[in-house]
Structure 1
């Protein structure tokens, strides 16, 4: 039993799981970004996806896919990897196989902040690529892929532009990891201990990840909206407080939860697929 606790799963499991989920949910993420940056609220997720397909072509629902994959490869690999590493270190140090929420939360906050920092450049490119075709032709950036986008930002702007929106992204990384990963761990433990579900069954993983997706969407919605607008802004000196103040003034406080349903429709399946794939990687010990 003690040997099973000391299994060190590869650092990249979380990133690989998130990349797999990204392939499934990218069109939903694209529609969510378009809704968050729209000048007029009111459009639904389905109508946005339909509009993209009819006006721009079917494959445009995968605009910015390379940037999304790069973002998960950087952001999610970092936050999941560091979270699992720190959690396992604590378990080994304390000999407590089920750390309390008070331990998991600070671990997740550190992991999420570092993930937000590492993933910020690819996130800037991701937001821009997804929203590019909505801009007038003369304002479009026309990045060929994620790496082309990073190169052009450094060449035509400066390196600091890759870290535009860093503060809300760090906040979002902290909130996302704390709400998503910690909620999953807690929900899974409760389902196993209190409801007596089988910890190895996919139904248990599905139920825990569904709860994690609901909590994460609600907690992260305000920072996600502000972050999206900052990264897509044409004026580089616009900060989070300016955008927040202007948006509340013109659109009301409800703007902070604009796109909650599409966010959940995207983040719910993304969270579910991520943890289902992660559990299968652990089960079959791929790459170990």
Structure 2
């Protein structure tokens, strides 16, 4: 649900990260990319690559969130788990999720960035399944692991800065009273929203460099090494390129994080009501 709501911003982020710089002209903004997309291909084109985004959620997000919740439940059986244990659990869950979601990540990057590529270099995947089959046929099974190193780095950073930080901010807010208004938060919608917005801001900033490198490696058709991409981009665009697409990334990740955790918390509450003996919840 969260991915479907924020997909146009994901599309803008990837296109900003992969557009080749034009000497003497300013880099396009988030708004200009969205406006150009609508002008050239219509409003529905903002949802180009949605099938890959859904596939990514059903692999990467499902595994990283599910694995972290399972580990947290096991670590908390005899009382609250130490923060360091949860930190390493988030790292491990992120790595597993990054591995599981790598093929869908490649498809998402390629499908959303196709528009800014020359026509003769476009992939023209009809949907995620067609893209997956075409990718394996044309580039071999090993192509499913393109950009794995940067993707695992990003996935680990994302899980630690988003999921772990969300839990951390929730605990801090539950234990603290808000100054000036002297308000004590309870475990409800406001707490989930504030914690997820804060976690989203932290996650966007920490994962930005790895996210840009990942997008560029996955968008490329030939064999590229992360160090080659990094040095070439630093030489041609300067260090600011590492934070390209930060604005749409935050505009997307903020609401995405809020929606994801709010829906997640409500689904957990509903599951608890149906299955109160399930210790994993």
TM-score, length basis structure 1: 0.89
| Secondary structure of 1:209 counterpart | helix
Q: Which residue does 1:38 correspond to in 2?
A: 19
Distance 2:13 2:115 in 1: 15
Q: Which residue of 1 aligns with 2:2?
A: 21
CA positional deviation for 1:96? 1.9
Structure 1: distance between partners of 2:82 and 2:44? 45
The corresponding residue for 2:146 is: 164
Residue 55 of structure 1 is matched in structure 2 by: 40
> Which secondary structure does the structure 2 equivalent of 1:285 belong to?
helix
Matched, 1:220 2:207: yes
Runs (4 or more) in structure 1 with deviation over 3 Å come to none
Query: How many residue pairs were aligned?
Result: 264
How far does the alpha carbon of each residue in 1:165-190 deviate from its partner, in whole angstroms, 9 at most, with x for none? Answer: 00000000100000000110010111
Q: How many angstroms apart in 2 are the aligned matches of 1:113 and 1:251?
A: 30
CA contact (8 A) 2:19 2:116 kept: no
C-alpha distance after superposition, 1:100-142 (max 9, x if no partner): 3211111001000010000000110111111112222222211
Aligned position for 2:185: 197
Q: Does 2:71 correspond to 1:86?
A: yes
Match of residue 152 from structure 1: 134
Q: Which moved more, 1:129-138 or 1:65-74?
A: 129-138
Q: Among 263, 266, 273, which residue is 1:277 paired with?
A: 263
2:50 to 36, 43, 65: 65
What is the CA–CA distance in structure 2 between the aligned matches of 1:136 and 1:263, rounded to whole Å? Answer: 24
How far off its partner does 1:157 sit?
A: 1.2
- 1:3 maps to what in 2? none
Q: SS state of the match for residue 42, structure 1?
A: coil
- Look up the match of 2:121: 139
Ranges in structure 2 where 5+ consecutive residues have no aligned partner: 178-183, 276-281
Number of the residue aligned with 1:108: 90
Residue 23 of structure 1 and its aligned partner are, at CA, apart by 0.5
1:179 aligns with 2:161: yes
Q: List per-residue Cα deviations over 1:228-259 (Å, max 9, x = no partner).
A: 000001222x1111101111111111111112
Residue 42 of structure 1: how far off its partner (Å) = 2.3
Residue 8 of structure 1 aligns with which residue? none
CA distance, structure 1, for counterparts of residue 239 and residue 219 of structure 2: 20
Query: How many angstroms apart in 1 are the aligned matches of 2:125 and 2:190?
Result: 41
